[in-house]
């Protein structure tokens, strides 16, 4: 039934630095997330979305719940500043009836009047609206300033009058993009999309790199990666890049020359080396992975140490390092990546999985193995970078 959503953002986080710039980023991110179902706009201290029709309210609520930087929001009725008292009461009654249906029958009226040109004080408006509503609801509501289950809120802003009764929690965090641009190693799994999202929530704008090994990985793997990146783009501004880098020749060389148990570590090191070079060339300031401590053989602290050593100049952020898988899955479901990740198709590491991977790798052994790849490995890395396919998602 609503056609507007009033959006609040965390003013304390925003005040720290350049407020206008933060607000601009958040507004742009909201605009791109809402473009097909509504129009996001800003006015003093608030933002709002005008939805194309009430049938899109649920979808808008779902999306706003996961846009970093939003602290809370309220589906609302919006009236023009010259709306009559009768019109205000009429819309309020719709909210009252909804509250009664939900057995919320202890009311408090709250007025916030940020538009100081509007006649009357907040207290006067509150009192007048409470009387107007209660006289028409014939004793169906109790009133309590403290223990209320139904807050009838009226906000008079420069843009209009908003009436609402629910505040839905946003994901908080900071607008994606305010902390810089990052490169996320995106596999087709469940973890790396969630790690990318968590980075956005701390202000990162995320681009993606994925390694593929044709003919072991086919078109459906590619489509899956693109769909993941597309889904994740909903939480940050437009123009995300997906770099697809070939790994097959490097993998074949590793397979031919190195001890089988060290393969996964060596594959990962090569992925890191290529990712770091692409990040440095494009001005991205960190790598992101979906690694979680002790989750699989390649993620023991010893193996993470061996893998991490391949990156020399950039920090590697691992937002999920101490997460429980079940929590990661729950978040993946909420942000809409789980369904895509669950599609069954090969990723480039499954193609050459060692029968028994080393669990506690030693860096000297790894470097010894890696030495066996020289000198060909240098040109293979260059080739992979030269043959990267860049998709504008
Ligand atoms: P995910 O669910 O993200 O695949 P995982 O628990 O399956 O994670 P691994 O397969 O060991 O763990 O991968 C660890 C991390 O390495 C991934 O989260 C991802 O960041 C990166 N990674 C693995 N395979 C690829 C790939 N083919 N392309 C890009 N990054 C990859
Ligand atoms: Mg995986």
Ligand nearest to the Cα of 289, by number: 1
DSSP 260: G
Q: What is the pLDDT of residues 346-360, one digit of tens each?
A: 776 666 888 899 999
Two structure tokens written together for 316: 């590697």
- Ligand 2 centroid to Cα of residue 189, in Å, is 5
Q: Which of 187, 208, 289, 298 gets mutated to test ligand 1 (max ligand atoms within 8 A of its CB)?
A: 187
Q: What is the pLDDT of residues 5-37, one digit of tens each?
A: 999 998 666 666 688 889 999 999 999 899 999
Homologous superfamily of 180-392: HUPs (3.40.50.620)
Q: Is 347 in the pocket of ligand 1 (CB under 6 A)?
A: yes
DSSP 244: E
pLDDT for residue 1: 85
| Listed residue (237, 194, 205, 184) closest to 333, CA to CA | 194
- Ligand 2 centroid to Cα of residue 188, in Å, is 6
- Ligand 2 centroid to Cα of residue 187, in Å, is 6
| Distance between CA atoms of residues 239 and 177, nearest Å | 11
CA 42 to chain centre: 21
| Distance between CA atoms of residues 265 and 302, nearest Å | 10
Q: Taking the CA atoms of the chain, what radius of gyration do you get in angstroms? A: 26
- The model carries a pTM of 0.91
Q: What is the pLDDT of residues 256-310, one digit of tens each?
A: 999 999 999 999 999 999 999 999 999 999 999 999 998 887 799 999 999 999 9
Nearest CA to ligand 1 atom 2: 189
Q: Is 298 in the pocket of ligand 1 (CB under 6 A)?
A: yes
Q: Please classify residue 162 by burial: count the beta carbons closer than 10 Å to its beta carbon, then call 0-12 exposed, 13-18 middle and 19+ buried.
A: buried
Q: What is the pLDDT of residues 103-142, one digit of tens each?
A: 999 999 999 999 999 999 999 999 999 999 999 998 899 9
Cite the DSSP H helix spans in the chain. Answer: 11-15, 19-34, 57-64, 85-101, 122-136, 191-201, 219-233, 248-257, 263-282, 301-308, 325-334, 338-341, 363-371, 376-386
CATH of domain 4-169: 3.30.2130.30
Q: Are 197 and 222 in contact (CB under 8 A)?
A: no
Share of the chain above pLDDT 70, in %: 97
Domain residue spans in the chain?
Answer: 4-169, 180-392
- Ligand 2 centroid to Cα of residue 340, in Å, is 13
| Distance between CA atoms of residues 93 and 27, nearest Å | 32
């Amino acid at each position: 039934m609503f056609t507007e959503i009033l959006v609040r953002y965390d003013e304390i986080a925003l005040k720290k630095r350049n407020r206008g710039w933060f607000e601009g980023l958040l507004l742009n991110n909201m605009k791109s997330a809402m473009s097909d179902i509504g129009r996001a706009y800003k006015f003093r201290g608030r933002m709002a979305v005008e939805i194309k029709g009430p049938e899109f309210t649920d979808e808008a609520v779902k999306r706003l719940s996961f846009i970093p930087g939003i602290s809370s929001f309220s589906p609302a009725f919006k009236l023009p500043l010259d709306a009559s008292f009768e019109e205000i009461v009429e819309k309020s009654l719709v909210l009252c009836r909804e509250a009664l249906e939900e057995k919320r029958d202890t009311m408090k009226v709250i007025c916030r009047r940020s538009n100081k040109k509007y006649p009357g004080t907040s207290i006067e408006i509150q009192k007048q609206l409470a009387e107007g509503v209660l006289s028409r609801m014939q004793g169906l509501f109790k009133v309590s300033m403290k223990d209320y289950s139904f807050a009838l809120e009226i906000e008079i802003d420069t843009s209009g009058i908003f009436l609402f009764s629910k505040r839905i929690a946003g994901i908080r965090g900071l607008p994606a993009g305010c902390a810089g641009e990052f490169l996320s190693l995106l596999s087709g799994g469940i973890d790396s999309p969630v790690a990318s999202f968590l980075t956005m929530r701390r202000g990162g704008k995320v681009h993606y790199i994925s390694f593929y090994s044709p003919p072991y990985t086919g078109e459906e793997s590619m489509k899956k990666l693109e769909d993941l990146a597309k889904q994740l783009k909903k939480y940050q501004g437009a123009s995300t890049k997906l770099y697809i880098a070939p790994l097959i020749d490097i993998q074949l060389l590793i397979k031919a020359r190195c001890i089988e148990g060290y393969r996964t570590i060596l594959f990962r090191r090569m992925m890191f080396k290529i990712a770091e070079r692409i990040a440095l060339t494009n001005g991205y300031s960190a790598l992101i992975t979906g690694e979680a401590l002790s989750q699989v053989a390649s993620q023991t602290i010893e193996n993470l140490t061996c893998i991490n050593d391949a990156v020399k100049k950039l920090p590697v952020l691992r937002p999920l390092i101490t997460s429980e898988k079940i929590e990661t899955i729950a978040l993946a479901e909420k942000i809409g990546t789980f369904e895509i990740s669950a599609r069954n198709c090969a990723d480039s590491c499954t193609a050459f999985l060692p029968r028994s991977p080393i669990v506690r790798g030693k860096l000297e052994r790894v470097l010894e193995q890696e030495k066996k790849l020289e000198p060909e490995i240098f040109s293979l890395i260059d080739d992979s970078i030269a043959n990267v396919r860049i998709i504008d998602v």
